[in-house]
Amino acid sequence: YPTVSDSDVLLKSILETGYSAALRPQEIRHLKIEDIDFAGRKLFIERSKGVKDRIVPIGDTALRWIKTYITEVRPTYTCDSSERTVYLAIKAKQRFRHRGIAEFVRFRLKKHGYPTVSLHQLRASAATHMVESGMDISYVQRILGHTALRTTQTYVQIDQVALKAKLASVHPRSQFETRRHKQ
């Protein structure tokens, strides 16, 4: 089996966390170890945009990668034992600078030959996939931490063909027409 570098574990953990919880890059950067509730499968996002706190669910895959990173990689790169930020820059051995996580992700993806994706694109994709999978947009709004539904709608890019199919399957008139044709 190929060995996975510390940088790759860090990358995978950041990507899984960002996508699973639809986080802003700065929310990933400021996430602290005590903000993670492994048993409850949720994250406490402190003082995010608009200086608002919120709690968001996070998936098992992301939690496994976070745990792997925290237990196997992070201890090697911690200079200050009082540092509680989850993600640390490997070379600097301290918390990432303002745009450091975005630069790290872009560099590692490029190194492996993947198309670069921004953490904001990952957040928008997560929101879109939640809605496409049937989640009510008001729930997505709460997960993203948006005050206005209009802001959430700009994140969600629904394919028009999929939207028409979904509408046809759930609209009361469509269901009535389907039952009438079966009789």
Interval 101-125 mean pLDDT:
92
For residue 183, pLDDT over 80 is answered with: no
What pLDDT, on a 0 to 100 scale, did the predictor assign at position 173? Answer: 72
Q: Which residue has the tokens 């009510």?
A: 136
Is-contact 28 18, C-beta < 8 A? yes
| pTM for the whole structure | 0.82
Per-residue pLDDT band at 1 (split at 50, 70, 90): very low
Mean predicted lDDT score pLDDT of the chain: 86
Is-contact 23 45, C-beta < 8 A? yes
Is-contact 19 55, C-beta < 8 A? no
pLDDT tens string 141-180: 899 988 888 878 777 776 566 667 777 777 777 655 555 5
Q: Which two tokens stand for residue 109?
A: 């993806």
Interval 11-22 mean pLDDT:
96
* Residues with Cβ within 8 Å of residue 16, at least 6 apart in sequence: 59, 61, 62, 65, 66
Is-contact 48 128, C-beta < 8 A? no
What pLDDT, on a 0 to 100 scale, did the predictor assign at position 15? Answer: 96
Q: Which residues are catalytic?
A: 24, 49, 120, 123, 146, 155
